[in-house]
Amino acid sequence: MTHWTRSPASHKGLRLRYEPAGDGRALRRAAFDRSLPVPHAGDERSPADKGASVAASRDDLRSVCERLGPDGVPFHETVYGVPTDGPVEVPPGAEDVAGEEFRRAWDTARRDRRSTRHRTGPLPEGSLVTGTVTALPWGPGITGLVVDIGGPGRGFVDLGQLPHSGEDWAPVGTATEFEVVQVRFSVRPGSPDLEIRLRPTAGPPPGGPWPRRGPR
C-alpha cells in the first residue's frame, strides 16, 4: 500500500501523511503542525515534524462506535482528530514514503495526541462532573477506584489523587464531585476502551464522610 507525505508549505504549516484505501480515501492520517511543541524529546521523529494535531484512523473510529456507541465518537475525535471525508487530493510535490517511515510517523503522532491536554470536546480537562464510586478493584489504598460519571467509558481515580490512608478512600456508592484530568483511550491494538481520569475536588476530613457536591 502506498504512503505519502506533504511538505510544510503545502497546507497551512502541516506535514501530512496518509495511508490510502482502494477507493482513495485515507485509512489513516497523521498531521504534524509546526506551531505545536514536541511533547517527547528524543523520539523517532523527522526533524521537520513538530507536534501532532491529528492521528485519525477510520478502523479505530468504527471500532469505537461499535464498542461504545455514537456517544463515544466525540471523545475519540477529541483525542485523535477527525478522519478526512472523500478521496485524498495528492498535492503537487508529494512524495511516496516507505511503510516503515509511515509507521514511525504514525506511532509518533498517536503518542503525541495521547500526551496532549484536551481543552475541548465532551469533557474538557478541568471540567467538573458528579460521579458515583462503583468499585475499588484492588481494595482500599491500592491502585485506584472506578467511578460512574454517566457516559461512555469509565471514570478512574488514580492512587495519587486519593487520601494516603486507604481507610479514607470513598466507599462504593459514594457520590461526589470530580475534576477531569485526562481523556484516555487504551493503547492496546484493537481496543477502543475509553477512560476518563479524574481527581476529587475535595476530600473527607480524617475519619469523616466524603462531601456530596454537585457541579458548580
pLDDT tens per residue, range 103-130: 888 999 999 999 888 999 999 999 999 9
Has residue 212 been placed in a domain? no
Residue 19 lies in a domain: yes
Query: What mean pLDDT comes out for the span 86-90?
Result: 77
| pLDDT for position 9 | 44
d(CA 82, CA 90): 18
Phi, then psi, of 176 in degrees rounded to 5: -155, 180
Rounded to an integer, the average pLDDT of 139-163 is: 93
Residue 70: CA count within 13 A, CB half-sphere = 0
Mark whether 111 and 149 lie in a shared domain. Answer: no
Give a yes or no: residue 193 inside a domain. Answer: yes
Q: SS3 of 28, please?
A: strand
Note the helical H segments in the chain: 58-68, 73-80, 99-115
Q: Do 134 and 111 reside in the same domain of the chain?
A: no
| Cα distances (angstroms) measured from residue 84 to each of 9, 43, 56, 87, 110 | 19, 27, 9, 8, 17
Q: Which of 115, 147, 177 is the last residue of a domain?
A: 115
| Mean pLDDT of the chain, nearest integer | 84
Domain membership flag for residue 214: no
Residue 122, domain member (yes or no): no
Better pLDDT: 1 or 93: 93
What is the DSSP pairing of strand 154-158 with strand 194-200? parallel
Q: 206 in a domain, yes or no?
A: no
Q: Cα 8 to the chain's mean position, in Å? A: 25
Band of pLDDT at residue 140, cut at 50, 70 and 90: very high
Together in a domain, 57 and 89: yes
State the pLDDT confidence band at 159, using cuts at 50, 70 and 90. Answer: very high
We report the CATH number of the domain holding residue 176 as: 2.40.50.140
Question: What is the reported pLDDT for 213?
Answer: 60
Looking at the structure, do residues 17 and 109 belong to the same domain, yes or no? yes
Boundary residue ending a domain (115, 146, 179): 115
Cα angle value 12/17/21 (rounded, 5°): 125
Q: Which residue, 88, 115, 142, sits at the end of a domain?
A: 115
Same domain? For 106 and 169 the reply is no
Mean pLDDT to the nearest integer, 176-198? 83
23 and 103 in one domain? yes
Q: In the prediction, which pLDDT does 206 show?
A: 75
Phi, then psi, of 170 in degrees rounded to 5: -65, 130
Q: Are residues 105 and 135 in the same domain?
A: no
**129, 180 in Cβ contact below 8 A?**
yes
57/142 same-domain check: no
CB 181 within 8 A of CB 197: yes
pLDDT of residue 56: 93
Whether residue 152 contacts residue 195, with contact meaning beta carbons closer than 8 Å, is answered with no
Average pLDDT over residues 46-63: 86
- Do 149 and 194 fall into the same domain? yes
Q: How many domains does the chain have?
A: 2
* Chain length of the chain: 216
Quote the CA–CA distance of 157 and 198 in Å, as a whole number.
5
Q: Cα–Cα distance between 45 and 109 in angstroms, integer?
A: 9
Please give the residue range of the domain that contains residue 50.
Answer: 3-115
Same domain, 94 and 153: no
Do 29 and 79 belong to one domain?
A: yes
pLDDT at 100 over 70: yes
Residue 208: inside a domain = no
Question: Do 109 and 46 meet the contact criterion of CB atoms below 8 Å apart?
Answer: no
How would residue 34 be classed by pLDDT, with cut points 50, 70 and 90? confident
Instruction: Say whether both 110 and 153 belong to one domain.
Output: no
> Which pLDDT belongs to residue 4?
63
